[in-house]
Each structure stands twice: as C-alpha cells, then as structure tokens.
A and B are shown apart, each in its own frame.
Chain A
Amino acid sequence: MSAAREEILARIRSALQDVPAGERAGDVTVAREYRTSDDRGADELVELLCERLIDYHAQVRQVAAGEVGRAVAEACRELGLARVVVPPELAADWRPGAGEGPEVVEDRGLSAAELDAIDGAVTGCAAAIAETGTLVLDGQGPSGRRAITLVPDHHICVVSEDQVLGLVPEAIAGTASSVRERGLPVTLISGPSASSDIELERLEGVHGPRHLLVLIAR
C-alpha cells in the first residue's frame, strides 16, 4: 500500500511506546453503566415522543391504525400537497386512497431533479426514540431511499405504536443488523431542518424538508 499509510502506522507505533506490547483493545475497560433499556409502557412512551417532537417544531397526530391512509390524505389536503412520493414498499393502507388525495408517485429511483418537483414524501420508519423525539430511517422498506425524505419540502412519517422505543441505545441496537449485515444507510431525523446561524435565532428549513408531520398509528 501507500507510503503515507506505512509512515502513519509507523508514527503511531512509535508514539504508543508506553502501551504494553501484550495489551489488547479489549483490555481497556469501558464501563457501560448507563441506561440501555426502558420499561415505561406504550402510552407513556407515545406521550413523551409527541411532546419531544412538538418541542422541536414537528407536527404530531395520533390516529387509529385503520385510519392512517385517510389521515395522510387529509394532511395532504390541508398542506396543499398535489403530488407525493412514497417508497414502493409502503403499505397500501398507509397511502392516501385513489381519488381522495394527492397523486401518489412510487419511488423507482427518481432523480434529485424529479424529486425537487414533488411536494412531499410519505414514509414509514424503522423506529422512533421517545426520549429524544427522533425518527430512525434505515434505507429499506417503508423508510425509503434517503433522497425522498430530503429533497421535497414536506415529510409525512407514519410511526406505528409498537415502533416507539424509549432510549437511544435501544434504537442503535435495533438498527445494528441493517448496518452490519446489509450496509444500509441510517438517517436519524429529529424535527424539521433547522439553523441558528444568524444571531442564534432558530429558523426552520434551510435545506431539508421545512415541514415534518408525524402520524402515530395506534
């Protein structure tokens, strides 16, 4: 390999002369005494998730599991979305029904320019973290490709009640196999795009979707 690689590795080895030759990485103790599981019930977690999402200026609605498609259609009407993109794997009953809402475009590898001409995206997710108000998308199935939840101005994300986790470590553990086995991209979304770069005043939507609506299906 390259001379730079060999030289950097040699510099490292000479810098670490104080580390005993027999020491392995696992010999350096790491105490994981922080919380890794949450025993709060579903109601409490959903309530916390809603509170945290709203705190970061996402909109949240709780809907009956059988009413998701209608709720999506209604939200699209209110937001004035004429065309929305969905991942091909998004369940039929999570989509706005024919004739009652916007035109639904299935994402079959749409280009960024094509996505730029679409008003919103409707997706599911892999999990949600109540404590931080975070949606976890893992690049497969109902989460969709990364670009569809990035380029359009609106993102409507459906979370089913059983996907709501309490803590960050639970969500990291939950996505491990997608990453380890399939190398899928993971995106953590907490509220709409935001910036505080001008005089520390929070403003929404510099580059990503300016509006995030989360529907919690119960």
Chain B
Amino acid sequence: MTDAARHPTFPQAARAALADTQLRHNLGHATHTIRAKRAEVVAEVPDWEQLREAGRALKERVLRHIDDYLLELEGAVQAAGGVVHWARDARECNQIVGDIVAAHGANEVVKSKSLTTEETKLNEALDRRGIRAWETDLAQLIIQLGDDTPSHILVPAIHKNRAQIRELFLSKLDDVPSDLSDDPHELAEIARRHLRKLFLNTPVGISGVNFAIAETGTVSVVESEGNGRMCTTLPEVLISVMGIEKIVPTWQDLEVYMQLLPRSSTAERMNPYSSLWTGVTEGDGPREFHLVLIDNGRTDVLADEIGRQALNCIRCSACLNVCPVYERTGGHAYGSTYPGPIGAILTPLLSGLEEAGSLPYASSLCGACYEVCPVKINIPQVLVHLRHKEVKHSTAAGGLRGRLAGEHLAMRAMARVFADRRLYEAAQRSGRLAQWPLVRGGKIERLPGPLSGWSSMRDLPPLPRQSFRDWWRQRT
C-alpha cells in the first residue's frame, strides 16, 4: 500500500490540526450538533437496543459465512442481469472500473460518494487513463475542486467555511456569476446547475454500496441530496463498488439497518433518499450494471478474531462525533480514508501496523464510541488488542535493541514485581523512601526524566506512609 515514511504519525499530524483554529471551531460545532440530534432521535426508538443487537448479530452471521454469502450474492446479481467482478486489491479494482468505462468510450463519469473508491484512489487511477470522474455529492465536489481530502465521513468538507467554498466555485467552475454571495443556498444552486448538465449527458455512473442483499442481489445507496439517485438511475451504465463485508443476508434484514443507519449517521429518522435496485430493470434505469466486489485487506481483518468485528461497520460516523480525540484533531490527522475511532482500528487492520501503528493510540479508551455504535463494535477492546500487537510487533522488529528499549524493560520489570508479593512490598518500602524529594504539599507535581511528560498535566498522590496490608498485619 502506501509508503510509511511519507505518512506522519498520528501525534505529528494531530499537532498541525490542533493549531488550525478554523478546523477546531467547525469540527467542535459539527460534532456537538450532530451528537445532540442523534441522541434525540435514538431516544425516540423504544427498541433501539434490540435493533443494535440484531444489527450486530446479522453482521456476525455474514462474516462467519461470508464465502457462502458472496457466492449467493453473485448468483442473484447475475440472475437479475448484472455482471459481477472480483478485485483482490485497489489496483485491480481500479483496473476493472477503468476497463468498463473505456469499453464504452466514455471520458467522463459521474460519481456518487463512496469511501471504498476513495480507499482505492479510483479518481486518480481514472485520471491517468484520461477519464474525468466528477464527484457529485456537494461536499465531495468541494473537496475535489479544492484538491483536498475529506475530514469527516458524513460531512467531508466540514473544515471549509462558506467564504472558502465561494472562492473555490468562482475559481474552478465555469459560468459562475462574479457577484455570487456566500449564502449556502446560492452556493448549492451553483452546484446543482453545474452537475445537472453532467447527470443528463454522462453515459457512465459510479457509486458505492451501503448494503448488498445476498438473497435477492439487491444493492442500495443511502443518501440525502439526490445525487446518488441521479448517478444510479440516469446513466446507461452503472458500476457499483463494494467492500466484500457490505453484505446482508436477506431483504428482511434491511428492516434493521434502515432504522440503525439514518439515526446514527445524519441523526434523522430516515435519510431523504434510499435507492434499492436489483440488477437491471427493463425500461427503468441503467441498461448495464456492474458490481465490483473488493477485498483490499478485508480478508486480513477477517483473520483477526478480535479485530473481525470492525467489518460490522456501516460507516455511520456516530463514533467520530462522540470521540474527544477526533473532535479536536479532525479527520486529516488520521492520514486515512477512515478517521476517528473506527479508523483507528480499521486502518491498521486493513493496511498493517507498519503503516498505521500510531493509530491504536489515538484514543483515551473512554468507550463513548462503543456506546453509540449501531452495530456494537467494541472499539476499545480492539484498540487495546492492537496496541498489544503493536508492542509485540515493534519489540520483535527492533531486534535486540527493541528488546532492550527502556519502556519494554521497565514494563517487564514491573510485571515481575507485581507478580510477587515480597518484591511488591519491598518496592513499596523503597518507593516511600525514594519519593521524599518529589512530594510537595501532599502531592507529586513533577516526575523526573522520561516520566515528566505524564506529570506535566496531572498530579500524582504520593505513596501513603502505611499500606493497607501493613495496617492489617498490625491488627491481627
């Protein structure tokens, strides 16, 4: 995948993000607003916990039998007149999509928002073949025109303000009146006019997939603006790209996810538009339908028994909005298509700890993400699991030097002391003696050497004069 050396670690990238006051202001506003609205619409649903449990269990069923479900889906899509393609990785996926577009002689395509094609960098790959991919979601268009990257899964351009968007439209789009104001309605009208021409004249559409139903071969796109409907209805050829984990077993199972997703994502009872199509329908919509199933690291995630649950994710972004870390750093600091708590586990699982070893530490383990997750992904559990793997990995990769690194030695010594009562009590006694130069006014405000970072924000209570065990022994 990507070259690790080019990516700053999370703490390095976060430092830059934290210095950006516009970003912090916009993100703070967005995450708090969506968080409050989500809580309201979730509280309206008396059986929310039962829905969450069903949503989780259905994904568990799919993941444990995903080979069978993929074959069932393939058969159903083919029976409905669609063509199914399999892609091992990003390169293969982009090749397949590019070949289909080229076979129709098209040099432009309209695209509705898709995280999976961002993951594969499809637009760049198409561009190299002389094919222009137009993003049609308003925020994605803003990102694309600004040569920028998304900072939030749901509202990707939330780091931009209206004045910046106005400037962007004026400089990058044709036929924009120079007296354009920065009123969001006027800006949206510009985007509508610009994109409508494309929707009516572009022969190939590309979309992502929210859910694919193995039983019927039905594929769905859940959205707000109508650009998803345009891309999946008007072009003659439709190509939809999905990660293999997007399967749900039956049509009936939609009843669970169509309740969980909108309320968790946009904090609406239902999103404005959901399109569900099954292969090709005579006289209605595209005449040709291609479904691309992509692995790109997902089978590696599947092989990790604890990490596997990350594939439950339905990309709602509720975990981003409640995360105290994400709220401050924004999405760019994660250096990945998938930011926030879910990104902190999914990215290293998909592309390896060598690439993203700092991400499992981008969390305070407060657990708010687990609580809001509509499919009950235990993100803190996976974070701790990945930290453990990362330590083992870096110790092993560091050879003798890794095994002799200060932190590693300290932890091993501590483990020995904590495992043995006599050693532990001896350590308490010597600690009581050794701490006296540090104690000021009944607390330790500054620790020496490598521990000073920890105490720069916190005070430590000193060891008490007598431990509970000593006190107990005196009385028995």
Pick the contact of A33 from B50, B156, B224, B305 — CB < 8 Å?
A: B50
Q: Which residues 146-202 in A have Cβ within 8 Å of B in the complex?
A: 146-147, 150-151, 168-169, 172-173, 176, 179-180, 183-201
CB of B272 within 8 A of CB of A33, answer no
In the complex, whether A64 has a CB less than 8 A from a CB of chain B is no
Q: Give the size range of A's interface with the partner.
A: 35 or more
Q: Evaluate whether A15 and B302 lie within 8 angstroms (CB atoms) in the complex, with A30-B61, A185-B277 already known.
A: yes
- Closest chain-B Cβ to A169's Cβ sits at a distance in Å of 4
- Closest chain-B Cβ to A208's Cβ sits at a distance in Å of 3
CB of B57 within 8 A of CB of A30, answer yes
CB nearest to B29 among chain A residues: A200
In the complex, whether A78 has a CB less than 8 A from a CB of chain B is no
CB of A35 within 8 A of CB of B47, answer yes
CB of B272 within 8 A of CB of A147, answer no
Q: Evaluate whether A131 and B274 lie within 8 angstroms (CB atoms) in the complex, with A34-B51, A207-B199 already known.
A: no
B302 contact set on A, CB distance < 8 A:
12, 15-16
Q: Which residues 1-34 in A have Cβ within 8 Å of B in the complex?
A: 1-2, 4-5, 7-9, 11-16, 18-19, 23-25, 28-34
Q: Evaluate whether A145 and B284 lie within 8 angstroms (CB atoms) in the complex, with A30-B61, A183-B80 already known.
A: yes
In the complex, whether B395 has a CB less than 8 A from a CB of chain A is no
In the complex, whether A203 has a CB less than 8 A from a CB of chain B is yes
- Give the dominant DSSP class at A's interface: loop
Q: Evaluate whether A33 and B234 lie within 8 angstroms (CB atoms) in the complex, with A150-B226, A168-B258, A208-B225 already known.
A: no
A15 contact set on B, CB distance < 8 A:
299-300, 302-303
Pick the contact of B88 from A7, A147, A188 — CB < 8 Å?
A: A7
Q: Evaluate whether A196 and B70 lie within 8 angstroms (CB atoms) in the complex, with A8-B299, A206-B191 already known.
A: no
CB of A195 within 8 A of CB of B284, answer no
Count chain B residues whose beta carbon lies closer than 8 angstroms to a beta carbon of A.
98
CB of B61 within 8 A of CB of A197, answer no
In the complex, whether B65 has a CB less than 8 A from a CB of chain A is yes
Bound Cα distance from A135 to B256, whole angstroms: 18
Bound Cα distance from A19 to B68, whole angstroms: 13
In the complex, whether B433 has a CB less than 8 A from a CB of chain A is no
CB of B285 within 8 A of CB of A200, answer no
B199 contact set on A, CB distance < 8 A:
112, 207
Q: Which residues 126-181 in B have Cβ within 8 Å of A in the complex?
A: 136-139, 142, 155-158, 161-162, 165
Pick the contact of B57 from A28, A176, A195 — CB < 8 Å?
A: A28
In the complex, whether A133 has a CB less than 8 A from a CB of chain B is yes
In the complex, whether B428 has a CB less than 8 A from a CB of chain A is no
CB of A198 within 8 A of CB of B184, answer yes
Q: Encode contact with A along B30-57: 1 for CB under 8 Å, 0 otherwise.
A: 1001100000000000110011011001
Q: Write 28 A-B pairs (CB below 8 A) sorted by A numbering.
A: A7-B88, A8-B244, A9-B70, A12-B302, A15-B300, A24-B65, A25-B249, A30-B57, A34-B256, A56-B268, A112-B199, A129-B270, A131-B269, A134-B270, A147-B233, A179-B218, A184-B278, A184-B281, A188-B270, A191-B272, A194-B225, A197-B155, A198-B138, A199-B158, A199-B184, A200-B30, A201-B184, A207-B196
**For the complex of A and B, 6 pairs with smallest distance between CB atoms:** A208-B226, A207-B226, A15-B303, A11-B299, A197-B139, A132-B270
Interface residues of B (CB under 8 A from A): 26, 29-30, 33-34, 46-47, 50-51, 53-54, 57-58, 60-62, 64-71, 80, 85-88, 92, 136-139, 142, 155-158, 161-162, 165, 184-185, 187-188, 191-192, 195-196, 199-200, 215-218, 224-227, 229-230, 233-234, 244, 249, 251-252, 254-256, 258-259, 262, 266, 268-279, 281, 283-285, 293, 295, 299-300, 302-303, 305
